[in-house]
Structures are given as structure tokens and as C-alpha cells.
Amino acid sequence: MSPYVLILSGLYDFSTDLVILRLEESGIPYVRLNREQLADHRLTLDPLVPEMTIQGPAGTYDVGLDLRSVWFRQPVFLRNTPPVPLSPEDQLERSQWAAFLRGLCVFRHAAWMNHPAATYLAESKPYQLSAAATCGFHVPATLASNDARRIRQNFPQSVVIKSLDTVLLREGDDCLFTYTIVNPDTELTDDAVAPAPLFAQRALEQKTDLRVTVVGDDVFAVRILSKGTGIAGDWRVVPKADLEYRDIALDDSIADRCRQLTRYLGLSFAAIDLIEIPEGIFFIEVNPTGEWGWLSTVDRPIDHAIASWLADPTKDDG
Amino acid sequence: MKGEPMAEHVLLTYATRRPYRTAPVMPDGVQYDPVKGYWLKNDTPLLTTKEFLEGDRVSKKCDQETGEDQKGE
């Protein structure tokens, strides 16, 4: 069988299930490969045709010119050093399968959600901010720096501290994660900043968070509230039961900027974080691999939109 | 160079700590169908079951723990 859609995912990536159910309903031929199960298959890529044959638990497929789209739900680079040494076998498996998956970029005729090269660049927060400003967004004053003195000078009253890239660290049996820090209690000393750069940003007061999910030309926007109002600080630390996602219709100009930014970054999918304050709407960040499954509902059918795009990526061209 | 111990980096000072898990805790009786490409419980897609929809797995829990999707090691 020659699939129209190639899905490169992970075994516990439940959002992938949602989209596959929609593809199945539509009768669109697809194949899903999970990174944990790649070695259970026999995969051969001929980069010159291009063609990939798949034999294994997922079935038997010839991935080739019928391929319309690739849904790439894989890390594009290694963020963390493992806390324990990897065996040579593990190292080999990680590096070579990652290279194999990147090698699937030979399917240039297919549309990608998202192309790894575009994701790699779009994951850079400084680059995102620059791109967002180019696309007409208001962007908070920001420095990427390891210079505590400069940060204190530029943000004397209040400051938001963020990591430059997702902080996801391992220590023993624990996982460490850093949320956005608003006005840290501890002084920003040279010792506390110099060893690694961070993002320092103007704190936006009286804020309401907006999450905008862009799929091709479709835009889904929600306002994130707790007890009917915006949330000071990082909303992700608020208990789930206290969160409310209220659908909103963005101004056409903001919706168009979200689409424009997505295209500018070479993406077909983007999860964009905005902040609304009395002064206006500000761009905060874009997540090319952002999660969306928690937002998808019958009335907010992000899963349908992704499946529809994967089935016919050309529909947005008209 | 000897002297006072370095202060911890601010991003580590504010880091939250959780037990590391390589896989989520799955409900009993579920299995992954590699041909269909999704999880099943009693031949029903897991994601359409009440148990799943009312649980944490389809929430932003993963995001809250890891930042964003697909940013693993």
C-alpha cells in the first residue's frame, strides 16, 4: 500500500491518535511509525527515487510519490545530556535513527507539518521575537543575556525571567522543569546569571494569556482564564480544575499576523502564545511543536483541521 | 579558584522537581494497535473512552511537566 500520509510519532503521543481517528474516518491511507518501535520494523530508504519500504507490525508499505504529507512529531535536536552514560548500543540507536528520520526530508514533494529544518530555526526564541516584530506584532522589550548588571539596568522595576530553551533536566530519578519567573525573590546576582544565558523580558501587568493554534490557514484562539479573569504569572502552574479556555474571535489583523508569522517561519502548524494587556496584544512565543490535544474539542476541532491539512495540504494554496 | 561557593543559577533555583517517567501510567486492559496506529481498550479507541476523556492524559499535563510536546532527550 502507498500511504498519502506518513506520521512519525511516539508511542504515547496521544494527540496523534486523535488525528489518525479523523484520517481513518475520511478513508485517507496513512502509516504511523513510533520512534520506540522503529527497530521492530525493517525500513529501507532509497533517497534517489525517493522511496521508503516498511515491513513490520505497522504493515507493509511503499512510501513514495503518492505521499502527500509528513507529520513530523519528533525532537529536532537533543536538548539534554542523559544523566547516566548510554551504552554504545543506545548511543548508536539514538543517533542513527534520528539521522534516518531526518533523511526522510528526501520526500521533498510532500508537504511537511512541520519540516525539521523550519522547526529547528523556529525553536530559537530570539529568532521568534525578531520574526514576530517583522510580522507586525508588538513584542515586549527583551534581552538574552548572562549579564546580571545589564538585566537590572534594563528592567529596574519588574522583570520576567525565562529560559532561552526549554529547561528539562534530569537529576537522579527526578525531572527538573522551570516555569516563567515573574520578579524573582532572589537578587539577580552575577553568580546567579553568568553561568548560563537567559531571557529577561518586560513584565506585562494586568495580563490575559491567549493561545492561538494555527493549522494551515485555520486559526483557533482561546483566552486562558481562572475564575473568569486573567492569570498573573505562568498559567501552567494553576490547577487544571481552575483553568478555563474560552474561545475568542481574534481581530482579523491579529489572526492574519499569526498566519503570516507561521508562513514566515516556514511552518504549517504553530502554537502561538500572546498576551493581552490594556495597551494591546503582545507576542510572547511560538511553539512549532506545541501541544494542542488538550484544547481540541467538538466545537474547537483542531484534530480535524490537522487531519484535513495532512490529507490535502494543497487546499490552502488556493 | 577557591572561595565562596557559587550561587545557584536562577533557572535552577526556581526549577520544579518531579519524578522522572519514561512512559505514562496507562489504564488496565489497553493495547496499541500498530496497524491502526492508535491505542485501544476493548476494541474501542482509547481516546474516545470516558475513562480517558475524564482523566489527565488528554489534558495539558504533559505540557505542564515537560514544557512542550516532543521536546524529549
pLDDT tens, residue by residue, B30-53 = 999 999 999 999 999 998 887 777
Rounded to an integer, what distance in angstroms lies between the CA atom of residue A244 and that of residue A19? 24
Q: Is residue A60 part of a domain?
A: yes
Mean pLDDT of A192-200: 96
pLDDT given for residue A302 in this prediction: 97
Nearest to A177 among B19, B60, B67 (CB): B67
Nearest to B18 among A30, A175, A193 (CB): A175
Which sign, positive or negative, has the C-alpha torsion A181, A184, A186, A191? positive
**A191: which chain B residues are within 8 Å (Cβ-Cβ)?**
6-7
**Domain stops at, among A165, A183, A202:** A202
Interface confidence, given as ipTM, is 0.90
B43 — contact with chain A (CB < 8 Å)? no
Rounded to an integer, what distance in angstroms lies between the CA atom of residue B23 and that of residue A6? 23
Residues in Cβ contact with A89 at an 8 Å cutoff, skipping those fewer than 6 apart = none
Average pLDDT along chain A: 94
Q: Are residues A165 and A278 in the same domain?
A: no
Q: Is residue A311 part of a domain?
A: no
Q: Is residue A318 part of a domain?
A: no
Please report which helix (H) or strand (E) contains residue B30, including its range.
strand B30-33
Nearest to A294 among B19, B24, B60 (CB): B60
pLDDT given for residue B68 in this prediction: 46
Mean pLDDT of B10-19: 92
Contact between B63 and A236 using a beta-carbon 8 Å cutoff: yes
Q: Are residues A266 and A295 in the same domain?
A: yes
Closest B-chain CA to A237: B64
pLDDT tens, residue by residue, A15-74 = 999 999 999 999 999 999 999 999 999 999 999 999 999 999 999 999 999 999 999 998
Pairing of strands A5-9, A30-34: parallel
Q: Are residues A157 and A181 in the same domain?
A: yes
Distance from the A17 Cα atom to the nearest Cα atom in chain B, whole angstroms: 5
Q: What is the pTM of this model?
A: 0.92
The total of structural domains in chain A comes to 3
B64 — contact with chain A (CB < 8 Å)? yes
The highest-confidence range among A11-15, A18-22, A232-236, by mean pLDDT, is A18-22
Q: Are residues A20 and A73 in the same domain?
A: yes
SS3 readout for chain A:
CCCCEEEEECCCCHHHHHHHHHHHHHCCCEEEEEHHHHHHCEEEEECCCCEEEEEECCEEEEECCCCCEEEECCCCCCCCCCCCCCCHHHHHHHHHHHHHHHHHHHCCCCEEECCHHHHHHHCCHHHHHHHHHHCCCECCCEEEECCHHHHHHHCCCCEEEECCCCCEEEECCEEEECCCEECCCCCCCHHHHCCCCEEEEECCCCCEEEEEEEECCEEEEEEEEECCECCCCCHHHCCHHHEEEEECCCCHHHHHHHHHHHHHCCCCEEEEEEEEECCEEEEEEEECCCCCCCCCCCCCCHHHHHHHHHHCHHHHCC
Per-residue pLDDT at A169 exceeds 70: yes
pLDDT given for residue A306 in this prediction: 98
Q: Are residues A219 and A172 in the same domain?
A: no
**Domain stops at, among A202, A223, A239:** A202
Q: How confident is the model at residue B73 (pLDDT cuts 50, 70, 90)?
A: very low
Per-residue pLDDT at B67 exceeds 80: no
Q: Are A263 and A257 spatial neighbours (Cβ–Cβ below 8 Å)?
A: no
Please report which helix (H) or strand (E) contains residue B12, including its range.
helix B10-13
pLDDT given for residue A126 in this prediction: 97
Distance from the B66 Cα atom to the nearest Cα atom in chain A, whole angstroms: 6
pLDDT tens, residue by residue, A86-119 = 899 998 998 999 999 999 999 999 999 999 999 9
Per-residue pLDDT at B72 exceeds 70: no
Report residue B52: phi and psi, to 5°. -75, -45
Q: Are A267 and A128 spatial neighbours (Cβ–Cβ below 8 Å)?
A: no
**CATH code of A38's domain:** 3.40.50
Q: Are residues A197 and A209 in the same domain?
A: no
Q: Are residues A77 and A16 in the same domain?
A: yes
pLDDT given for residue B55 in this prediction: 67
Nearest to A236 among B18, B45, B64 (CB): B64
Q: Which structural domain range is residue A50 located in?
A: 5-113
B44 — contact with chain A (CB < 8 Å)? no
Q: Are residues A126 and A258 in the same domain?
A: yes
Q: Are residues A33 and A71 in the same domain?
A: yes
Mean pLDDT of B14-43: 90
Rounded to an integer, what distance in angstroms lies between the CA atom of residue A15 and that of residue A112? 17
Determine what percent of chain A is predicted with pLDDT higher than 90. Answer: 83
Per-residue pLDDT at A189 exceeds 80: yes
Query: To which residue does cell 527497530 refer?
Result: A39
**CATH code of A295's domain:** 3.30.470.20
Q: Are residues A127 and A274 in the same domain?
A: yes
Q: Are residues A130 and A183 in the same domain?
A: no
